A = this chain, B = another copy of it.
Amino acid sequence: MTSVDAAIVHPYEGACTGSRADHAPAIRGVLDRIGDKWSLLVIGTLRESTLRFSELQRHIPGISQRMLTLTLRQLERDGLVTRTVYAEVPPRVEYALTDRGRTLVDVAVELAKWSVEHFPAIERSRADYDRTHAA
């Protein structure tokens, strides 16, 4: 078992072995960010091209102005996207992935792949469960 495997299988026993860091905080720290409602969609949307605020909002229907702002600020704070302001009128602000952000895209694509492949079956399981466990 690798160290990374251990982090998710026994994320809290690090102190016992004495030789390995406790990786749970890292996993929680990342999940708390990209596990939210919009971060991964923003990351994915910026995958191929730099976009400005209004373009991002058009590419991600359903996201409110507030949540797009908050999400972009978090991603910028984590060093995953850059925010570039051009001193023009009307103002123009462009968002792009950093190198670190691009490495996250690969993980996001893996998760998207799994989701698309398994979600239909999951929905059937849910329907079965609900029918079986109906009051």
Contact = CB atoms under 8 A, between A and B. Distances in A.
A96 interface: no
B115 A26 contact: yes
B36 A115 contact: no
Interface stretch (A64-72, A84-92, A101-109): A101-109
Contacts of A29: 115, 119, 122-123
A14 B110 CA distance: 19
Contacts of A30: 111, 114-115, 118-119, 122
Interface in A48-99: 48, 59-61, 76-80
Nearest to A59: B10
Interface residues of A, number: 58
B129 A76 contact: yes
B118 A7 contact: no
Contact of A77 (B60, B119, B129): B129
A44 B109 contact: no
B112 A27 contact: yes
A76 B125 CA distance: 9
A23 B110 CA distance: 14
A31 B26 contact: no
